[in-house]
Copies of this chain bind each other. A is one copy, B any other.
């Protein structure tokens, strides 16, 4: 921590502040410059010292030197984490593909989605049962029934299930039905929720908040890691900027930047990141080329009928094309993309139709 003092601070005051730094258990080095004096505070404390020192009227600013996160840091663990659960494998050269509709709407819809995204090469199925919606008047999801439909889709196809949990009291319920619990962007700093999923033995896909800095993002992951859950997947889904032609601005540089700082896998959500169906394919290719460990994409058998996020949802046909092109990029760069890990009963499209038929009967 570097404490920069204002101009013209007397030596006695400098010494008082240096003493205060020592009182915090840190070592203070005073450096007298031509225009400014700075105090370098050395030591391993990360708890409020910066804010306290910034409140001194004689202090111009305090510059932290150490990153505020620990367990998430690549300095703590040099080996890249690979998250593997059911059919999904992500990290260290394995590019996982999570695809499916924004919302679970009916059992047929989610089963058809599962079968078709699996055919195209997806390695996990997404679908929202609890839906965080900006307006209280919008469709809020099927809740537990939706989770049951997702579990049925897993039974039919073998695809791991990724679905959102919105509040601590639902964590056990969602964990029971899913393979990966998703924390949505709006809840990135819902600390009680982060702690609750940190207690559970299931991987967590943590979405970056649209106004979160990278440090805030990694500290949110740290809340989960700190509770003992090591399987956190970081998801960049776009940030809020002045750009209004896309729903959010998708900063792909997050991928290589994070990979220099953390061992956790990083996935890209080009659907929310752009909000426009026609941009999903090129941005998926770009994400793979940037080194992402995975993609999470909104796909619906009939996007026009989607109960939510229709404008950014692509069809199953468009998803199949996307997979073909992304695989070309992955192969060119030596990544393993969409390697389906068979650890449970798998199914084909025919199985799915049969299941649907049985359900209807």
- CB within 8 Å of B: which residues of A? 2, 4, 7, 29, 31-36, 38, 40, 42-44, 46-48, 51-52, 54-56, 63, 65-66, 68-70, 75, 132-139, 166-169, 186-187, 189-193, 209-211, 213-216, 219, 222-223, 226, 239-246, 249-253, 255-257, 260, 273-274, 276-279, 282-283, 285-291, 303-311, 313, 325, 328-329, 331-333
Contacts and interface: CB of A to CB of B under 8 A. Distances in A.
B244 A239 contact: no
A291 B283 CA distance: 9
Given A48-B307, A283-B252, A286-B289, A245 B223 contact: no
A352 B14 CA distance: 36
Contacts of A40: 2, 31, 33, 38, 40
Given A51-B309, A135-B68, A38 B2 contact: yes
Given A55-B304, A134-B216, A253-B282, 18 more contacts: A29-B29, A34-B43, A40-B40, A51-B308, A68-B137, A136-B191, A167-B167, A167-B190, A168-B169, A187-B190, A211-B211, A239-B243, A241-B242, A256-B282, A260-B278, A285-B333, A286-B290, A329-B329
B288 A289 contact: yes
A135 B48 CA distance: 10
A150 to B, nearest CB: 20
Identical chains in the assembly: 4
A249 B253 contact: yes
A136 B195 CA distance: 9
Among A7, A135, A137, chain B packs the most CB atoms within 10 A around the CB of A135
A244 B47 CA distance: 22
A102 to B, nearest CB: 10
Contacts of A310: 48, 51-52, 54-55
A48 B186 CA distance: 20
B283 A36 contact: no
Contact of A33 (B43, B135, B291, B311): B43
A223 to B, nearest CB: 5
B189 A167 contact: no
